[in-house]
Structure 1
């Protein structure tokens, strides 16, 4: 712009010279005149008085022609950025008076802009970023900066060959105003791939090591799946820094990149050339601590873990002093922060580098211990304050702890009432002199109630489901009309109702839980009631025979208490349940008796530890494991029955039936024996499950999982019960609780296809899942996943082989919406045949509703 201005001034001086020569006036030495008048002409919408006033060429002022006054007037007019052409003429000289004329052309105004070659969703962003609004003055600078902005934007995203062409089209109108339309044509081209990365000056580290350090900039490798080979400028700049970090990790603290360049190959790929200067190899010398009074040198040394003579590693040193990548890192900064020293600072200082040996002083300013003054929560419009405050690990008067702040964020996220991605701790009013800090947690409410209303075809008929789940219920306001908005909410209780029906079955269930029984301690009380009615399928008519049914009625009461040892992530849960299984002329292959009942009184105890990070829908770290045991009383010890004799009698009936399957007396006697054996169910059942979550890169999460279950009998003569069994395969969803069965998901196979008709008494399963979020907004959390799975069920320990598993792999998507819960679809490929088959199962599609696996 400055060059352009100088050219304009030079041209105008020539114009003045020629004009004056035409009037035979000699002013080689510069003559002084009084401005007699200034007129304005040209294509401009500005009035004459405004232009003259802005130029500074006032009537009556003395000016020298030629001289700086004219040049300054032109500069002022150019600086307004309103004109495309400015010329000043000497119209006339009368004595010592000079009459001037300023001839102008307004810059054209933008009427409309059209952008081609980009997605519709990107157009508005380009217009806003470049301020291409209606009425803006269209300058050469605007056109140039817009072109450069768009090209740089797409080059940073891998479109290295982006070309932008901008044209303006003049619009004629009745008043001859300068107006234009703008057409911006964007040709992104293809994303450029990297053919090679070439290093020069590297001798200490191999090129393979340096290329590996570049996490996001990779050369073409057809065998690599997860990492791209497309050039992204922003990622490339970060990877250049990673190369220097790699040298710093290996003792070359003076390493630097002298130059880097990109060359375009004939096949339209690019090659990257990086020239390095490695410098000398350095070692650690003496490391001393200055200013520490709270912790001894020996205690701090345990965190540094560096010995004299070790290869210098500046990256590792910084992480052990303060690891900014881990809020709960095992470093010196967190040692102080977790014990009240919020205002502490820790700075490593090199005091000597003689003979490439670096002596360090770690200078510590501890400051005063800090205490929480005021602790508040904002943003909870529905959830009552007491529900939130009882979860806080930070309380007024308590010694500051960073770990407690991080844990509080997790606990609020785990409630499920707030958007876990939006929970933010805000430090307010820090006072280092008094040692106080105010803390404010900001939350954003999400929908806590869910509705399930669906219909589908399965099991030979239409299945309808109505489910209501209120996850932030308030039972104390149940009879308060004013609290219905539309339901009483805010006390953190959970209430769920579910109805499901088809021609062949009906289920009804109700459950309620209070997470803080009595409001004083984190002891969860839960209660549930359920009833299921199953009708026998008539093979001749294809309809349900309602005169023959199998009913289950059950009630469960439970208590779960958070523990403080071994740590406060543990929960001990206990439950007492009672179920009645009632068979009314219901003869199938599943049970050996068709009339009668069984009763199940059981006690369940479980120990869980869950320290997954913040968002329960999409954890990015931590683990979750549980082990439970479900036990019935040992009825056979005191009911006075001779189960050994009953077992021998049953074996005899089985022998008779094997000789004559139509022996009605043997079949009836066997049913009578089984009715007697299973009048009160006697069993023990053990389940174990563990999940781990690891963030490989930002938001990309790896989730390995292992599961195991075993159903056993106290008395071998009584045998393993036909209820409570494991059914492996499919989506893991049970349409109805027929017999207390545990349905185990294993994608890539039909539902419950990997177990016998009666179910297995043992199962194991291994899973590896890779997850990546598409969006984690409160309105909808969506993530994609890939999985590898293997599992199987077995009828006894004689058959059990944990490595004899049915394998599968596939892809899926999960969508969580607060109003509907978790929905998903999986496409799984089974690599093994199902029992009884001879060829691999192949592809299966699974629809997921309500599960969070």
Structure 2
């Protein structure tokens, strides 16, 4: 039957206008046997409701959503119908909603709801960008499969992409979006986005108008992010980016304000498009007059005297007016721990204080100020809480927190707490947030909650590779948030007992030629009341004798070899003087060096043993932070002194004669050289045996002292670009020169610095751009006559490393770096020259994943010749892989 329009449409006109929705409401009656007139505004009984036009939605679902029920009274037109239509439009699922009446019987009305569904998005194809960028675009614009396609969706997507590329310097960027029906589904469409970024628009010239007091060069320098195009400019780009330019205009005004021109302003800024790739910027300024500070009076202060406040402010009468400096000395927003007036009050309990500089007089070129202070009530901490720690126990966190209930509020203590929690390594340092809650100015109380996000604190090392004549396997487990007290609690194994901040590490490494076992345990708060760290370490290293058979294959004789068994225990305590960043440490260690028919270039005896009992004292200061993985500021200094007992003072042995016998025997061995006759061979073997016995007697009880210094400084250049400056020095000395320097504990310089497998207590020092340990001095072995590495007794090293993070997410922290390094090792102090350095430069990348520790790669170029015999010319390019090294 044919539908007829009737005057019911008039009744909903007001609704259409009031909601700004313009659907077509057409109420009509079908032809029926006996026509019934529709009465506008009359109340009917709803006799039935049908829904037409649906493609993907269920009719009953739509009926239920309208809220209309058969048999209910309904006014036509009326509020019920208007509300239904508005409700459906608000879903943004339909492009058209129409309501009809189909018939009227007695007092009953039958309605039809006709709906046109919006198409659903299926696939999105993006042209004009790199494939790896397509996923980011789809995610940023929320173009998910199944999303309803609307006019606003298309318009918003187009505007977003055009603005995105304009912000990147593509001022000519254009985006076109088209949709097409997809026949594989019901009412679905595909979307095609065509991006034409055009050429990057660069700044060909920057002109200033109206500047007389400051030069063009000075003003251009103040534009930090907006630079003129030059062929040599790499670090600062010359693209025109609107947001950066607006920020630079503020910097321009600040440049004037720093030099006394407080009234300076930018009158206009325009750019002229020279061609598709270049624009010209013109900035018109009004400089105004130069001003000076006059009288500066403090009003409202009672906690601090005028003199104390003046010292912190650091501005005197007659100084050139500097609005930027004045603002920073009142409150420096760029530094949470800045020495300004606001922090002076907030570090002493006055959270609710406010400080405002007010100009009270401006006569000629002099401006008088009042620093008006409202100190507020002294504020105390009421509650201190933590949240987000699912694994780490509360007591581990609270012992590092510098804020306690009942203490005066101190911003300085909050900043320090953030650093200490970040240094634990259990939480994402970037997401530690101190929430100041429930501030009560009348009561003078406030609550602090530290919101934390836990990161992985356990690491696994599983490696395999070939080297040293065979396969090398490594298994390492490190748990840095271990709980020893729960080791027998089955429920605590998730997968191991965690939460008490202890460290437990087990490492196994083995090949055909060697084996290494080590176990380490550390408790940072021995006894639980004071920050006294206890360390215990056990290790066992075995090196087997090797040789090559007639077929050129490596033979391993496990009945002959060299082993080190070691144990060490130490205590380290944080101290309060000179400040509480200092730590004093003490450790006692014992190593047994055991030889069994094993000759090496390191030692002149192949049978017997050496014993080393040593005490190490250390002083360190660590203020780097806030993150342990990527420090932004602070420093780390460490000075250690390792001593053994001076056995020769009370042993009664004539070490002078012993040394003379060693030298005489060595000299005779060199005179014989390669034995020619049977008599010479017999004498050579006899002298060799004597030398081994003499050397074993000389080094039966090792005596030495070893001094090491290492310093790291972290300087934030801009944003998160950080300069790490490093200096290192080490010296191995002897009490008794007749005994000489021990063959152990030497310094080996060069390469990646990895020293996981070491036989003799050596220090392996990183110096990239050279092969591993290739800068270590060589000597002639008295027994074999070969040139072999002896290890240095003194070294120094300096490095500069520029770092920038690519991401600092909990799942993976990645940063790139470039470096300059120089260092060297020497046989003795007489040969030492601190300026005779081996230089290198290069770039690298570091990746820290909680489960695997630190991974990295460096490409370094060595500018000098290494210490290996026969080496000529520069070392050249070297590639270094970093696994598990310190940050």
- Tell me the TM-score normalised to structure 2 length: 0.83
Within a 5 Å distance, the mapping from 1:538-577 to structure 2 comes to 538-540=547-549, 541-577=553-589
What's the counterpart of residue 138 of structure 1?
A: 151
What's the counterpart of residue 527 of structure 1?
A: 536
Give distance in 1, aligned partners of 2:670 and 2:181.
99
Please report how far the alpha carbon of residue 672 of structure 1 lies from its aligned counterpart in structure 2 after TM superposition. 2.0
What's the counterpart of residue 876 of structure 2?
A: 842
What's the counterpart of residue 344 of structure 1?
A: 353
Instruction: Indicate how the Cα distance of structure 1 residues 160 and 674 shifts in structure 2: closer, same or farther if over 3 A, else same.
Output: same
Instruction: Indicate how the Cα distance of structure 1 residues 632 and 356 shifts in structure 2: closer, same or farther if over 3 A, else same.
Output: same
Number of residue pairs the alignment of both structures matches: 775
Within a 5 Å distance, the mapping from 1:819-838 to structure 2 comes to 819-835=851-867, 836=869, 837-838=871-872
What's the counterpart of residue 124 of structure 1?
A: 138
Give distance in 1, aligned partners of 2:603 and 2:834.
28
Give distance in 1, aligned partners of 2:807 and 2:470.
37
Instruction: Indicate how the Cα distance of structure 1 residues 105 and 645 shifts in structure 2: closer, same or farther if over 3 A, else same.
Output: closer
Task: Give the match's secondary structure for 2:141.
Answer: helix
Task: Give the match's secondary structure for 1:381.
Answer: coil
Tell me if structure 2 keeps the 8 A contact 1:624–1:692.
yes
Instruction: Indicate how the Cα distance of structure 1 residues 146 and 445 shifts in structure 2: closer, same or farther if over 3 A, else same.
Output: closer
What's the counterpart of residue 734 of structure 1?
A: 755
533-542 or 369-378, which moves further after superposition? Answer: 533-542
Pick from 542, 563, 585: which aligns with 2:597?
585
What's the counterpart of residue 270 of structure 1?
A: 279
Instruction: Indicate how the Cα distance of structure 1 residues 174 and 46 shifts in structure 2: closer, same or farther if over 3 A, else same.
Output: farther
Instruction: Indicate how the Cα distance of structure 1 residues 659 and 144 shifts in structure 2: closer, same or farther if over 3 A, else same.
Output: closer
Matched, 1:652 2:686: no
Superposed CA RMSD in Å reads 3.0
What's the counterpart of residue 797 of structure 1?
A: 829
- Tell me the TM-score normalised to structure 1 length: 0.86
Give distance in 2, aligned partners of 1:326 and 1:643.
61
Pick from 301, 325, 332: which aligns with 1:323?
332
Pick from 680, 683, 703: which aligns with 1:682?
703
What's the counterpart of residue 342 of structure 2?
A: 333
Write out per-residue CA displacement over residues 550-589 of structure 1, whole angstroms, 9 at most, x where no aligned residue: 1100000100000010000001011000000011111122
Please report how far the alpha carbon of residue 47 of structure 1 lies from its aligned counterpart in structure 2 after TM superposition. 4.8
Give distance in 2, aligned partners of 1:255 and 1:132.
53
Write out per-residue CA displacement over residues 42-76 of structure 1, whole angstroms, 9 at most, x where no aligned residue: xx98551399xxxxxx9699xxxxxxxxxxxxxx9
Task: Give the match's secondary structure for 1:49.
Answer: coil
Task: Give the match's secondary structure for 1:161.
Answer: coil
What's the counterpart of residue 65 of structure 1?
A: none
Matched, 1:811 2:843: yes
Instruction: Indicate how the Cα distance of structure 1 residues 419 and 60 shifts in structure 2: closer, same or farther if over 3 A, else same.
Output: closer
What's the counterpart of residue 667 of structure 1?
A: 688
Matched, 1:291 2:300: yes
Pick from 606, 617, 626: which aligns with 1:614?
626
Task: Give the match's secondary structure for 1:538.
Answer: strand
Matched, 1:851 2:863: no
What's the counterpart of residue 224 of structure 2?
A: 215
Task: Give the match's secondary structure for 2:406.
Answer: coil
Task: Give the match's secondary structure for 2:456.
Answer: coil
What's the counterpart of residue 70 of structure 1?
A: none
Give distance in 2, aligned partners of 1:453 and 1:168.
51
Pick from 432, 441, 449: which aligns with 1:440?
449
What's the counterpart of residue 365 of structure 1?
A: 374
388-397 or 532-541, which moves further after superposition? Answer: 532-541
What's the counterpart of residue 793 of structure 2?
A: 761
Write out per-residue CA displacement over residues 280-299 of structure 1, whole angstroms, 9 at most, x where no aligned residue: 11111111100010111111
Give distance in 2, aligned partners of 1:116 and 1:105.
34
Instruction: Indicate how the Cα distance of structure 1 residues 467 and 358 shifts in structure 2: closer, same or farther if over 3 A, else same.
Output: same
Please report how far the alpha carbon of residue 712 of structure 1 lies from its aligned counterpart in structure 2 after TM superposition. 0.4
Instruction: Indicate how the Cα distance of structure 1 residues 37 and 716 shifts in structure 2: closer, same or farther if over 3 A, else same.
Output: closer
243-252 or 657-666, which moves further after superposition? Answer: 657-666
Tell me if structure 1 keeps the 8 A contact 2:209–2:284.
yes
Tell me if structure 1 keeps the 8 A contact 2:260–2:322.
yes
Tell me if structure 1 keeps the 8 A contact 2:199–2:277.
no
Give distance in 2, aligned partners of 1:352 and 1:522.
55
What's the counterpart of residue 462 of structure 2?
A: 453
Give distance in 2, aligned partners of 1:569 and 1:555.
28
Structure 2: gaps (5+ residues): 1-5, 13-21, 30-38, 43-84, 97-113, 676-683, 778-788
Tell me if structure 1 keeps the 8 A contact 2:260–2:290.
yes
Task: Give the match's secondary structure for 2:407.
Answer: coil
Task: Give the match's secondary structure for 2:605.
Answer: coil
Give distance in 2, aligned partners of 1:800 and 1:467.
38
Instruction: Indicate how the Cα distance of structure 1 residues 519 and 794 shifts in structure 2: closer, same or farther if over 3 A, else same.
Output: same
Please report how far the alpha carbon of residue 387 of structure 1 lies from its aligned counterpart in structure 2 after TM superposition. 1.0
Instruction: Indicate how the Cα distance of structure 1 residues 725 and 111 shifts in structure 2: closer, same or farther if over 3 A, else same.
Output: closer
Please report how far the alpha carbon of residue 226 of structure 1 lies from its aligned counterpart in structure 2 after TM superposition. 2.3
Please report how far the alpha carbon of residue 695 of structure 1 lies from its aligned counterpart in structure 2 after TM superposition. 1.3
Write out per-residue CA displacement over residues 480-538 of structure 1, whole angstroms, 9 at most, x where no aligned residue: 11111111111111111110001110011111111111111111111011000001221
Matched, 1:48 2:29: no
Task: Give the match's secondary structure for 1:518.
Answer: coil
Instruction: Indicate how the Cα distance of structure 1 residues 180 and 463 shifts in structure 2: closer, same or farther if over 3 A, else same.
Output: closer
Give distance in 2, aligned partners of 1:228 and 1:789.
28
Give distance in 1, aligned partners of 2:191 and 2:769.
55
Give distance in 2, aligned partners of 1:187 and 1:668.
83
